[in-house]
Chains A and B, each alone.
Chain A
Amino acid sequence: EVQLVESGGGFVQPGGSLRLSCVGSGFAFGSHDMTWVRQAPGRGLEWVSTISGSSIPHYADSVKGRFTISRDNSKNIMSLQMNSPGADDSAVYYCAAGCFGCPFDFWGQGTVVTVSS
């Protein structure tokens, strides 16, 4: 059974930092692109970042320069380092996986990030 489990969410002050993690199991983690998608309160789904199996990253303009995506294929873990978050970054963050050239086939349950002073 495919599983994606996010962790690391919580409260963070504006300008602080937070690290989210996603552990995958039940599929060939190293050959899948891994993605973060978020949903802010009352808003729709927003693509945040994707990292390929060979660790090539892509970012939405809204997070470029502040967030860093990484992965460790030996541990089936993907991470998102969130630096200098603002109120607009408050959201449920979902981890998703898809083969190269595929959409997001598998999703985690999400982890909540609240940016507030």
Chain B
Amino acid sequence: DIQLTQSPSSLSASVGDRVTITCRASQNLGSWLAWYQHVPPKAPKSLIYSASGLQSGAPSRFSGSGSGTDFTLTISSLQPEDFGTYYCQQYQSYPFTFGGGTRVEFK
């Protein structure tokens, strides 16, 4: 199975800060990686597909980069509605897997 390791596991930041979350895969994923935001009890929300594609409806302050085994999600200017937990997910091969999550909190 493909393992995804996210870092950091949590972070505190202020409104307007630039935030970067990394995801490392145990195997080469090409660009078969997605990013999601989850604020329970709401449904998870898709942000990024194919490592760098901005999902329709996702704010442009979110961007993704990387390929192969190292990927990054960047929030260019953190907004109050961006708190929650962010997950990377590989969909290159079954079983699909998620990273452990990065919890974003406000200072």
Contacts of B85 on A, CB cut-off 8 Å?
A: 44
Q: Complex: how many Å from CA A6 to CA B38?
A: 17
Contacts of B95 on A, CB cut-off 8 Å?
A: 47, 58-61
Q: How many A-B residue pairs have CB under 8 A?
A: 63
- Interface size bucket, A side? 20 to 34
Which B37-57 residues have C-beta < 8 A from chain A?
38, 40-46, 49, 55
Q: Complex: how many Å from CA A95 to CA B34?
A: 17
User: Per-residue CB proximity of A39-63 to B under 8 Å, as 1/0?
Assistant: 1000011110010000000111100
Stretch touching chain A among B13-21, B72-80, B86-94: B86-94
Q: Complex: how many Å from CA A114 to CA B47?
A: 30
Q: Complex: how many Å from CA A107 to CA B91?
A: 16
User: Interface residues of B: mostly helix, strand, loop or mixed?
Assistant: loop
Contact across chains for A94 and B89 when beta carbons are under 8 A apart: no
Contacts of A50 on B, CB cut-off 8 Å?
A: 94, 96
User: Per-residue CB proximity of A94-117 to B under 8 Å, as 1/0?
Assistant: 101010011111111110000000
Q: Complex: how many Å from CA A92 to CA B94?
A: 22
* Residues of A in contact with B (beta carbons under 8 Å apart): 35, 37, 39, 44-47, 50, 58-61, 92, 94, 96, 98, 101-110
